[in-house]
């Protein structure tokens, strides 16, 4: 059997990481992998996470299984964080999942199992894993225009026009905030317009929220997902704690199925539990317990929110510095979009050839589609990147 195995498609970001490691240049800059790094290039364990882990270590008396849906305290804490009080708890079915990726995968499976004809509309571009998981599940994917390569903002007219082609039961995948890879996001008026279209055409919105707190703030970043959850009859939400709690390797995510009344909640919950059972049975607990410990302790929660806010402001500062530096070098506002984008990423919007040129000539490592991880910069490397962008003729 093994002789029939084919090599899976190469992961471009992992290949880039390898090349970066092997590059001997001192001034090299890693803007590749989607992990937050501080000014020293370290992905830190947040203070509140350390404190929560210590508390768990001291108090936990058993490592026995928890439950198919995970710990209810975790779901409750996350629902509060994501949705606030916009939807009644009894209208929501929730399961803990291994990371946001686990939630995305299970949401797609739920769609495929219940409506095999559903197509999934994804933004062009989107997080590549969305597309590859859909392909792996043999699900039909349709792209909608999203990124305007001229303005580097959202091509909203194109988006609406393309979504009009969706039919009842089709799924529209939206990024809750901090769009990956572009950094370009919908404003409130645009969210409302998309929601009106979704409802008029009987579409199912699926919101992937992996960067809450990295854009405009914890509450602000939840604006879109809250509007969707309170306005659409059926909503899927895939959330990740990897970034905003910095617990990447703990694999901590959440899948929500939201409806506007409680009558079928038990049925929805049963289906989500069943998906967990078939895929991996009980979801991981350590990261989830860290999250609920932090969220249910005022001091830890306050400290976590403060550290997250510092992280967010640090990235905004780097964005502004880069936009200013490019303004100074080019004498134009062509790169002002870098300060307007939100989250960890910006799509520079240039060709793979120029991305390659910047890597070869200047040791700048970004993904081939020109996605830059802003957190890979620090005050010293911003001018190096700005000069490379100008020298390459972007």
Q: Could you tell me the two tokens for 318? A: 């780097």
Q: In the bound complex, what is the minimum distance in angstroms from residue 57's beta carbon to ligand PMP?
A: 23
Q: In the bound complex, what is the minimum distance in angstroms from residue 36's beta carbon to ligand PMP?
A: 11
b/e for 169-197, b at 16 or more Cβ within 10 A?
Answer: ebbbbbbbbbbbbbbbbbeeeebebbbeb
The DSSP letter of residue 8 is: P
Which of 285/325 has CB closer to ligand PMP?
285
Which of 74/127 has CB closer to ligand PMP?
127
Q: In the bound complex, what is the minimum distance in angstroms from residue 77's beta carbon to ligand PMP?
A: 16
Burial class (CB in 10 A: 0-12, 13-18, 19+), 204: buried
210 has catalytic annotation: yes
Q: In the bound complex, what is the minimum distance in angstroms from residue 180's beta carbon to ligand PMP?
A: 4
Range 308-347, binding ligand PMP (CB under 6 A): none
Among 29, 78, 210, 318, binds ligand PMP (CB under 6 A): 210
Among 242, 244, 346, 350, binds ligand PMP (CB under 6 A): 242
246 binds ligand PMP (CB under 6 A): no
Interface with ligand PMP by CB under 6 A: which range of 82-90, 240-248, 281-289, 367-375?
240-248
212 binds ligand PMP (CB under 6 A): no
Range 170-189, binding ligand PMP (CB under 6 A): 175, 180
On whether the CB atoms of residues 152 and 158 are closer than 8 A, the answer is no
What is the C-alpha separation between 184 and 347, in angstroms, rounded?
8
Q: In the bound complex, what is the minimum distance in angstroms from residue 316's beta carbon to ligand PMP?
A: 19
On whether the CB atoms of residues 71 and 217 are closer than 8 A, the answer is no
Range 252-291, binding ligand PMP (CB under 6 A): 253
32 binds ligand PMP (CB under 6 A): no
SS (H, E, C) 276-328: HHHHCCCCCCHHHHHHHHHHCCHHHHHHHHHHHHHHHHHHHHHHHHHHHHHHH
Among 127, 146, 147, 245, binds ligand PMP (CB under 6 A): 127
On whether the CB atoms of residues 314 and 36 are closer than 8 A, the answer is no
Which of 34/205 has CB closer to ligand PMP?
34
127 has catalytic annotation: yes
Q: In the bound complex, what is the minimum distance in angstroms from residue 389's beta carbon to ligand PMP?
A: 24
224 binds ligand PMP (CB under 6 A): no
Burial class (CB in 10 A: 0-12, 13-18, 19+), 310: exposed
What is the C-alpha separation between 53 and 353, in angstroms, rounded?
45
> 52, 243, 288, 304: which one is catalytic?
243
250 binds ligand PMP (CB under 6 A): no
Among 70, 99, 246, 343, binds ligand PMP (CB under 6 A): 99
The Cβ of residue 115 has, within 10 Å, a number of other Cβ atoms equal to 14
Among 155, 182, 240, 350, binds ligand PMP (CB under 6 A): 240
What is the C-alpha separation between 182 and 153, in angstroms, rounded?
8
> Which string of DSSP letters, residue by residue, matches 110-147?
HHHHH-TT--EEEEES--HHHHHHHHHTT--EEEEE-B
> 208, 221, 285, 369: which one is catalytic?
208
- H helices of 232-285, in order, are 265-279
100 binds ligand PMP (CB under 6 A): yes
243 has catalytic annotation: yes
Number of residues that bind ligand PMP (CB under 6 A): 14
Tell me the catalytic residues: 127, 208, 210, 243
Q: Which residues bind ligand PMP (CB under 6 A)?
A: 34, 99-101, 104, 127, 175, 180, 208, 210, 240, 242, 248, 253
């Amino acid at each position: 059997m093994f002789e029939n195995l084919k090599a899976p498609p190469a992961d471009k970001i992992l290949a880039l990481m390898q090349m970066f490691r092997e590059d001997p240049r001192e001034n090299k800059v890693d803007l590749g992998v989607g992990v937050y790094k501080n000014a020293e290039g370290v992905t830190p364990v947040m203070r509140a996470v350390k404190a929560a882990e210590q508390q768990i270590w001291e108090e936990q008396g058993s490592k026995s299984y928890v439950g198919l849906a995970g710990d209810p305290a975790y779901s409750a804490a996350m629902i509060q964080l994501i949705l606030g009080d916009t939807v009644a708890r009894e209208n929501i079915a929730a399961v803990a999942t291994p990371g946001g990726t686990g939630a995305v995968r299970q949401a797609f499976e739920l769609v495929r199992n219940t409506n095999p004809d559903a197509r999934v509309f994804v933004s062009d571009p989107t997080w590549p894993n969305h597309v590859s998981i859909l392909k792996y599940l043999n699900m039909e994917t349709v792209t909608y225009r999203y990124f305007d390569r001229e303005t580097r903002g959202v091509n909203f007219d194109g988006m609406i026009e393309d979504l009009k082609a969706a039919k009842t039961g089709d799924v529209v995948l939206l990024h809750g905030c901090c769009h990956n890879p572009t950094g370009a996001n919908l404003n409130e008026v645009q969210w409302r317009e998309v929601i009106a279209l979704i409802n008029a055409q009987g579409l199912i919105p699926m919101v992937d929220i992996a960067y809450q707190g990295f854009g405009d703030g914890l509450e602000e970043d939840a604006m879109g997902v809250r509007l969707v959850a309170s306005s659409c009859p059926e909503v899927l939400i895939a959330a990740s704690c990897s970034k905003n709690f910095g617990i990447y390797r703990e694999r901590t995510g959440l899948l929500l199925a939201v409806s506007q009344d409680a009558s079928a909640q038990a049925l929805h919950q049963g289906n989500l539990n069943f998906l967990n059972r078939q895929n991996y049975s009980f979801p991981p607990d350590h990261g989830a317990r860290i999250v609920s410990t932090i969220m249910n302790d005022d001091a830890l929660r306050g400290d976590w929110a403060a550290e997250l806010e510092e992280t967010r402001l640090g990235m905004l500062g780097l964005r502004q510095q880069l936009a200013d530096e490019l303004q100074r070098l080019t004498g134009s506002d062509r790169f002002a979009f870098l300060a307007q984008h939100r989250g960890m990423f910006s799509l520079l919007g240039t060709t793979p050839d120029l991305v390659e040129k910047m890597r070869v000539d200047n040791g700048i490592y970004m993904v081939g589609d020109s996605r830059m991880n802003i957190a890979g910069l620090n005050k010293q490397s911003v001018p190096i990147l700005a000069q490379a962008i100008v020298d390459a003729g972007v």
